[in-house]
Copies of this chain bind each other. A is one copy, B any other.
């Protein structure tokens, strides 16, 4: 019993998802403040203690319902980039795709997150999750020798994304007239945030030394 051939794994993922969705559903029904961790656990059919084996805060579970597949999507989008693409473009494209969820926009959830400070924070923290796939993708493009560089660049990209999301979620300061939804153009914000990093990404790619080409 050493591998992960996916049977136990399946059940785990199911539980995780059950918790996520229960958390979000309850948070939407009653306010965020009126959801106890026990409620979520109960709704998902596990003990409160088990809840904390999956999520280490109430907010994390709620946010995870929205964040769920982002990392995987970004990883895939990076892999899908045509080999000729300039690194900076590849990254920007992959990020935008990762944050452009096909079919699952869930405006209500986003409004909720944008509204509640604790949720906003948790949502932004979840951004860190995209770093590992980015490291992997960059390390591959730049070569194993440049692992440190890949790490730094991945961290920078992640940071830039965070800035974009922060701005995206920023509640309207001046006119409190409308209940402003986080509807700015996310893709534009993301591309704008990544643009300043383009020189760094492309420079790293250019100096990809003398190691033999892949393919």
Which residues from B are CB-within-8-Å of A151? 163
A115 within 8 A of B: no
* CB pair A215 B198 closer than 8 Å: no
**Chain B residues positioned under 8 Å from A198 (CB to CB):** 200
A residues near B (Cβ < 8 Å) are 148-149, 151-153, 155-156, 158-160, 162-163, 167, 185, 188-189, 191-193, 195-200, 202-204, 213-215
The CB with the most chain B CB atoms within 10 A, among A189, A195, A199, A200, is that of A200
Main secondary structure of the interface of A (DSSP, over half): helix
Among candidates B162, B167, B200, B215, residue contacting A199 with C-beta atoms closer than 8 Å? B200
Given contacts A158-B159, A159-B158, A159-B159, contact A152 B188 (CB under 8 A): no
Known: A158-B159, A159-B155, A159-B156. A215 touches B200 (CB 8 A): no
Name the residue on B nearest A214 (C-beta).
Answer: B192
Known contacts A199-B203, A200-B197; is A155 also within 8 Å of B163 by CB?
A: yes
Measured between alpha carbons, how far is A197 from B154 in the docked complex, in Å? 11
**Chain B residue contacts of A149, Cβ below 8 A:** 196
Inter-subunit contact B191/A215 (CB<8 Å) = yes
Report how far A56 CA is from B17 CA in the complex, Å: 30
Given A152-B160, A152-B193, A199-B203, output 19 extra A-B contacts at Cβ < 8 Å.
Answer: A148-B193, A152-B159, A152-B196, A152-B197, A155-B156, A155-B162, A156-B156, A156-B160, A156-B196, A156-B197, A156-B200, A158-B159, A185-B215, A188-B215, A189-B215, A192-B213, A195-B215, A198-B200, A200-B200
A41 vs chain B, min Cβ distance (A)? 24
